Chain A
Amino acid sequence: MTYRRIGLVSLAVLIALIIIAFAFIWRPELTATAEGAEPAYGKDEIARGYALAQLGNCESCHTAEDGAAYAGGRPLDTPFGTIFAVNITPDRETGIGKWSPEAFTRAMRKGVDREGAHLYPAFPYTSFTKIDDGDISALYAYLRTVPAVENEAPENALPFPFNIRALMAGWNLLFLDAGPVKAVSGESDDWNTGRYLVEGVTHCGACHTPRNALGAEKSSDSLAGAEIDGWYAPPLAGDGARSWNKPQLAAYLSAGFSRDHGAAAGPMGETVTNLSKVSPADVTAIATYVASLTDDTSPAFGAIDNGVPDDLAATHALWVGACASCHEAADGRANPSYGVPLSVGFAVRGDKPLNAARTIVGGIDAYRDRGGPYMPAFGGTLTAEQITDLTQYVRARFSDGAAWEGVGDTVEQALSEQNEGNGQ
């Protein structure tokens, strides 16, 4: 073989590779909808879409602080950089007004926008791909009814190479399992509905499943618990999960509280606020499925009180003055703030101090407008050192776990991020 032939063959191979790569990465732009040609959507379809939007937390991510609903701009910090949620109102220039149902379906199923650019999985299309056609249509119909708002979301702040969207084509090949979930025969309708919702629109795994080095949910550790936004989303399945039964989960998911487990705080408080707006049947289905992931013969956390820790005797005064009136009620009944004995809660019994420290710093304020668990923020009342001691105190007194490490740093971090907007 001559050098000339080798050169020609190499060139042909190279061209073939480029064509394959191009076909693999390139996605066509889909035709924009005609202006003013919006079809009428049925009331039932819009109502279903509204419920799906609540189940999917769409508004929470796609609305900036103090911004217009669904108009985008909320930052999402990832290990790869900051991604800003885009405007999904029907505005034709800055929103998704030009998107056809096909373009919307492609984004939900394949993570590609109308213009053909690859989206980042901060938009959880790896879950949304499991939603069936009817529900995707309903969600589209509902999003056509929200007020169009002109608002350009800020550019993502992603360093090289993560700013190359085409890389997501490779990522999708590895991690995107496109297409709706199939019902499992032999399981109840409720269970199947719950699984369909949990794996799809509610994308529980986005917070509760640990991610690999490339930011994809580890399928082998599905819902096994993960750190997210400085909180720890507890395990819902696997060895670390604790026993929840269906009624407890249904109450917790719709009202943010279970006497046997405590209150939903942090990002879960926002999720519960959204779930409170959907039909109880959907919440019950989610509860049915999630309850089935744990061994319901293992008991929930029982009461523990090891007494005042020797090395934290001075902190006991802080506990009595700031915490005990709600968390150590003399008659053992829940008070108007729904304070529970702390040993029932994952925040104190889990392996990491994140949730306990953040709840002391920021309190629980998600249910202010509709009644429910409430806790004042102690981030301004107590110093970083006092909160650190108190966090160690509740761990030592109300759990059988080892002392937490890194509590001081966790508290400092939570204090630095505390939102003082609510006047506290």
Chain B
Amino acid sequence: MSVSIEVNGTRHDIDGDPSMPLLYALRDQIGLRGAKFGCGLGQCGACTVIVDGRAVFSCLTPVSALEGRAVTTTEGLLEDGKPGKVHQAFIDEQAAQCGYCIAGMVMRAQHLLERNADPTDEEILTGMQANLCRCGTHAAIIRAVQRAART
């Protein structure tokens, strides 16, 4: 069975089991390796991407759920091949340590800022809480989101 999904504006036919998580399709079939496998249970957020404007855990999103819907990954936020606004804010604040969570953090931040261009610190904390960082760089991540909001 084949499912046609749109990722960063391009259509892809995904072959295989329709229950396959979007994360596997992105990484193994399309070759977009920004989103990471962390827990596979929707607990850590390393696999976060945006589907139709909502941040979702791609590890728990079967490709069969995506017919006719638009997926955006961290690669889709590049501007002319260069880091986009949120990427640059994370670089400027040196928000990554090991970097494993960062693609998910960027997408969660993107989602937050699309809905609320000028979030309060409280709203940033609440909006980012679905994503975890094992290195503990949360303070720098919060600063990066604040910086992206100002940019």
Binding site for B on A (CB under 8 A): 66, 314, 316-322, 325-326, 335-337, 368, 374-376, 378, 380-383, 386, 420-424
Contact = CB atoms under 8 A, between A and B. Distances in A.
B115 A420 contact: yes
A381 B22 CA distance: 11
A322 B18 CA distance: 11
A383 B63 CA distance: 13
Contacts of B131: 423
A322 B61 contact: yes
Interface of A is mostly: loop
B12 to A, nearest CB: 17
Contacts of B39: 336
A321 B61 contact: yes
A319 B60 CA distance: 10
Given A321-B60, A381-B51, A421 B65 contact: no
B27 to A, nearest CB: 15
Interface string B83-126: 00000000000000000000000001001100100000011001
A314 B108 CA distance: 30
Given A321-B62, A383-B65, A421 B126 contact: yes
Contact of B60 (A314, A325, A421, A422): A325
Interface centre among A316, A422, A424 (most CB of B within 10 A): A424
Nearest to B58: A381
Interface stretch (B28-36, B40-48, B74-82, B135-143): B40-48
10 nearest CB pairs, A to B:
A321-B62, A380-B54, A376-B42, A320-B19, A317-B18, A321-B19, A317-B19, A317-B64, A381-B56, A423-B130
A66 B63 CA distance: 36
Contacts of B108: 423
Contacts of A424: 54-56, 130
Nearest to A335: B41
A106 B58 CA distance: 55
Contacts of A421: 123, 126-127
Interface of B is mostly: mixed
Contacts of B42: 337, 375-376
A376 to B, nearest CB: 3
Contacts of A317: 17-19, 62, 64
A378 B108 CA distance: 15
B41 A318 contact: no
A383 B69 CA distance: 10
Contacts of A420: 54, 115
Nearest to A419: B126
B41 A381 contact: no
Contacts of A337: 41-43
Given A422-B127, A423-B112, A423-B130, A320 B62 contact: yes
Interface centre among B21, B69, B131 (most CB of A within 10 A): B21
Given A317-B19, A321-B62, A382-B61, 7 more contacts: A321-B60, A375-B42, A383-B65, A421-B126, A422-B127, A423-B130, A423-B131
